[in-house]
Structure 1
Amino acid sequence: MESKLAQYSALPQKDKGLAFISLIPEVLAQTDPARDIHTLVDTLINHDNVGLVVGRQVLSELVKVLGEGAIQDHDLRKRVVEETLATVLPRIVSYEEQVNGLKFQLADLLESEEEWSEAARVLMSTSMESGQRSVSDSDKLRVYIRIVRLLLEDEESVQAETYYNRAALLVHSTTDREVILQFKLCQARISDYNRKFLEAAGRYHELSYIGEIDEEERRHMLTAAVTCAVLAPAGPNRSRVLASLYRDERSADLSTYNILSKMFLDHILRPTEIKEFEQILKPHQLAKVAISSNDRLASAGNNDSYNDDNEPATSTRTGPSTVLDRAVMEHNLLASSKIYNNITFRGLGNLLDLTPGAAETMARKMIEQGRLRGTIDQVDKIIWFESDREEDDAQGRAGGLGEVEEAEDTGAPFTKRWDAQIRLTAANAESIVQHLIERGLVQITAPVV
């Protein structure tokens, strides 16, 4: 090989390119071509008598052939690409385009090995502002979306959001339907990882209707939508999302349908149901939540007022420990408001597995945020829930804090809606009859005894 390289290097400049290119098939036909490829690349890059133009021409051909699968063995191809990159990188200014091509191939190989973060970092190191060629906005967008997808596979959401923001600036530059759908999926996943569960649920549900996506993927997105809706903060906004998912006939076939229906119908969730649901959650959906110092002090202060009671508190927990914990406690609190007219701090604490002070703190925050309708009597240690809830369950007017945006009627509970419709129909009929009587069109006769 060395003698051929020396011979070709001495050829006239116009003949060198074709001569070196003719060596590539010969080298790749060997059982282990790694050593000879390294020698060839080193000659092209580091020998001044070869020339930059010839070096780029031959190296581009080598990158092209490797990309077309000339080496079938995965490990061997990966080693060749890595060694070629190591040789060319010191001269990246002169061989920028070829280096980018090798990096894209290395990222493909790492992704096939499920080395998500490593593949993403290889793509991050590629040059998107090339002096040798113009990189279009649509090409940049594809790379940024791919980086986001790879980083999210390893739950690296902070860095993924950086590249998502870059992609968001370029998404207008493409009309490619596939790229746009990939971007929308990234949107949903970023919202999910940032614990914006209501936003994520809406986006997942929207994607689950798109026909271009594979049916199994759409089912997966519908499941993700239900999961995010369950984890979202309890209140009228979540009620709308739950109603939309519950009315989707496809939801009945999901493993999460039981918890979806219980949340939609405002049933209290039991520990066994929560444990079952917990098994399908991802690590970021089980993240620990910190209790603020103000809430901790408020809970501790309120608990001190129970020292004189004869009955000790059954729980020592001062707040939810995970995202799921918080979602379930808030839901059970909201569900209890549909069952009881009022409840003591201690009773609510027993229901939520919290200390009485922590239960009061959670109820107070939900009332302040317009997610629960009621008032708190701290003297008698009772929470009073608003009783007139027939047509107004999801509107979220809370304790004198004013109107919250009116929510869609979620349909729960159905019996109350039917009762209201019957009363309204009877009242309308009575009004019509009274109007006819006043105009003399109808006469009421006394019943025959």
Structure 2
Amino acid sequence: MSAKLTAVCALPQKEQAAAFVALAQDDIFSKQPPSMASDLRALVDTVVNTDSVGLVVGRQVLSELVKILGDGVVKDVELRKTLVQETLAVIQPKIVSYEEQVNILRFQLADILEEEEEWSEAARVLMGTSLDSGQRAMADGDKLRVYVRIVRLLLEDEDSVQAETYYNRAALLVHSTNDKETLLQFKLCQARISDYGRKFLEAASRYHELSYVGEIDEEERQHMLSAAVTCAVLAPAGPNRSRVLASLYRDERTLELPTYNVLSKMFLDHILRSAEIKSFEATLKPHQLAKIAISSNDRLASAAGQDDDAANSNEPAASTRTGPSTVLDRAVMEHNLLASGKIYNNITFRGLGALLDLTPGAAETMARKMIEQGRLRGFIDQVDKLIWFEGSHEEDNAQGKAGGLGDVEEAEDTGAPFTKRWDNQIRLTAANTESIVQHLAEKGLVSLAA
């Protein structure tokens, strides 16, 4: 092979390109694998590093070699992977002169690695491509496809930190294309980035939106709907999450999901039990089970409340936990706290602690933070160690107009639970109906059966 390469180098430059390509096709790619890799490396080294071979000839020869490798002439995937890696290693020192050929080789290598499910390695290969400079400028749409692919590969290995960097680059170029497939992949990356970043409300909305897209397979849409329910359950309790839960609860497709029981209890403000939480926990991904740290201020407040409560009570504390340990833990505790406000007018710190499996001080701390953030309507009486719940005016109005009754005369608010107020509305509606029927009977418009 060395002698043949030397002979080709001695030819006039006009004939060198064709001679090198013919040598590659006839003598290299037709050989057995052990010698193929070494011979191809020798040819590429000669073309790139020999002074008698010009840059124009070198680019022509490398372009043909890249095309041969991409056309699948080499059927053995491992051998093709080796050939591409060897070629890249030889060209690397002079990458500035052969950027276009190097980029194509990197795309080929990334395809092979992706088929082998080497996600992070494939992403690193694509990161090395020259997108912003080169012999031929790459269009914004092509750059966007590369960035989205890198994000998708990194998320497969749950490297959300680095994925977010390339997602931000893609977000700057998303306006440059109308390609539906690329835009759908970008939106899916958007949802997954929010999911990994624990922005569960945003992720739930995006997953739910994608679950309606007809271009996506039915199985994938079902998976996205399930992901939307999971993220909605994990989101911080409050009015915003209630709106997302309502949207999902009204979606008839969620009835078929294994997580529907938890979704319905969340939406209907029912208290979740430990058995239900464990079955839901089994469906979560590792990043959704990440541990959360309790701030030093919250830990001190919880401990102080526990010591003070123990000093004034002969009963032992029901729990020694000073806060939620996981994202799911926190979501369930906040939901149960909101649900208790639908059942009770007020509750003691100790009672709430028993309900949430927290110390009384930790239960007070959680309620205080939710009230401060506007996610819980109520106030705290630290003298009597009580949390008082306040009903929302919107909920009161909804109780008065539920079932299509329209505007009716509202009974005096006595502070009774919603069930009693609802019974009063039913009695009032029945009385009004009877009055209307009697009035129509007196006018002779209707006849009452005996």
> TM-score, normalised to structure 2's length?
0.88
Q: Deviations over 1:175-208 (max 9, x none)?
A: 1011111111111111111111001000000000
Asked whether 1:179 is paired with 2:200, we answer no
Q: Please, what is the CA RMSD of the aligned residues?
A: 2.6
Among 323, 334, 340, the alignment partner of 1:330 is 334
Secondary structure at 2:395 match in 1: coil
Among 347, 352, 377, the alignment partner of 1:348 is 352
Give 1:23's aligned residue: 23
Contact map agreement 1:234 1:371 (CA 8 A) in 2: yes
Contact map agreement 2:321 2:357 (CA 8 A) in 1: yes
Give 1:213's aligned residue: 216
Give 2:409's aligned residue: none
Compute the displacement of 1:364 (Å): 0.9
Give 1:81's aligned residue: 84
Distance 1:6 1:302 in 2: 86
Compute the displacement of 1:383 (Å): 1.2
Give 1:408's aligned residue: none
Compute the displacement of 1:442 (Å): 7.2
Distance 2:350 2:93 in 1: 70
Alignment of 1:220-231 (within 5 A): 220-231=223-234
Compute the displacement of 1:349 (Å): 0.6
Give 1:398's aligned residue: none
Contact map agreement 1:236 1:394 (CA 8 A) in 2: no
Structure 1: runs of 5 or more not aligned: 396-412, 444-449
Give 2:385's aligned residue: 381
Among 351, 368, 373, the alignment partner of 1:369 is 373
Alignment of 1:202-351 (within 5 A): 202-306=205-309, 307-351=311-355
Compute the displacement of 1:432 (Å): 7.3
Among 161, 166, 173, the alignment partner of 2:164 is 161
CA, structure 1 residues 277+130, in 2 after alignment: closer, same or farther (shift >3 Å)? same
Contact map agreement 1:234 1:327 (CA 8 A) in 2: yes
Letter paired with 1:322: T
Give 1:131's aligned residue: 134
Give the aligned length.
Answer: 423
Q: Hey, which bits of structure 1, 4+ residues long, moved more than 6 A?
A: 413-418, 430-436
Give 2:9's aligned residue: 9
Distance 1:416 1:24 in 2: 88
Compute the displacement of 1:422 (Å): 3.9
Contact map agreement 1:288 1:321 (CA 8 A) in 2: yes
Compute the displacement of 1:97 (Å): 0.9
CA, structure 1 residues 35+245, in 2 after alignment: closer, same or farther (shift >3 Å)? same
Contact map agreement 2:377 2:392 (CA 8 A) in 1: no
Contact map agreement 2:8 2:16 (CA 8 A) in 1: yes
Secondary structure at 1:213 match in 2: coil
Contact map agreement 1:390 1:416 (CA 8 A) in 2: no
CA, structure 1 residues 10+29, in 2 after alignment: closer, same or farther (shift >3 Å)? same
Letter paired with 2:182: V
Give 2:60's aligned residue: 57
Query: Greater shift after overlay, 166-175 or 335-344?
Result: 335-344
CA, structure 1 residues 427+53, in 2 after alignment: closer, same or farther (shift >3 Å)? farther
CA, structure 1 residues 394+378, in 2 after alignment: closer, same or farther (shift >3 Å)? farther
Compute the displacement of 1:24 (Å): 2.4
Give 1:447's aligned residue: none
CA, structure 1 residues 7+247, in 2 after alignment: closer, same or farther (shift >3 Å)? same
CA, structure 1 residues 387+181, in 2 after alignment: closer, same or farther (shift >3 Å)? closer
Compute the displacement of 1:86 (Å): 0.6
Distance 1:288 1:207 in 2: 29
Distance 1:420 1:23 in 2: 95
Q: Which has the bigger relative contact order, CA under 8 A and spacing at least 6?
A: 1
Distance 1:354 1:15 in 2: 83
Distance 1:233 1:59 in 2: 56
Distance 1:295 1:256 in 2: 32
CA, structure 1 residues 431+237, in 2 after alignment: closer, same or farther (shift >3 Å)? farther
Secondary structure at 2:319 match in 1: coil
CA, structure 1 residues 212+318, in 2 after alignment: closer, same or farther (shift >3 Å)? same
Contact map agreement 2:100 2:134 (CA 8 A) in 1: no
Secondary structure at 2:227 match in 1: helix
Distance 1:231 1:416 in 2: 32
Compute the displacement of 1:393 (Å): 9.4
Distance 1:175 1:364 in 2: 48
Compute the displacement of 1:13 (Å): 1.1
Asked whether 1:188 is paired with 2:158, we answer no
Distance 1:87 1:310 in 2: 79
Q: Deviations over 1:160-186 (max 9, x none)?
A: 111111111100000101111111111
Distance 1:217 1:79 in 2: 35
Distance 1:421 1:49 in 2: 97
Q: Deviations over 1:83-137 (max 9, x none)?
A: 1111000010111111111111111111112111111111111111223001000
Q: Deviations over 1:314-350 (max 9, x none)?
A: 1111000111110011011111111122211111111
Q: Percent identity?
A: 77
Compute the displacement of 1:58 (Å): 0.7
Q: Deviations over 1:201-240 (max 9, x none)?
A: 0000000000001111111100100000000011111111
Distance 2:131 2:420 in 1: 61
> TM-score, normalised to structure 1's length?
0.88
Q: Deviations over 1:346-373 (max 9, x none)?
A: 1111111100000011011111111112
Give 1:406's aligned residue: none
Compute the displacement of 1:309 (Å): 0.5
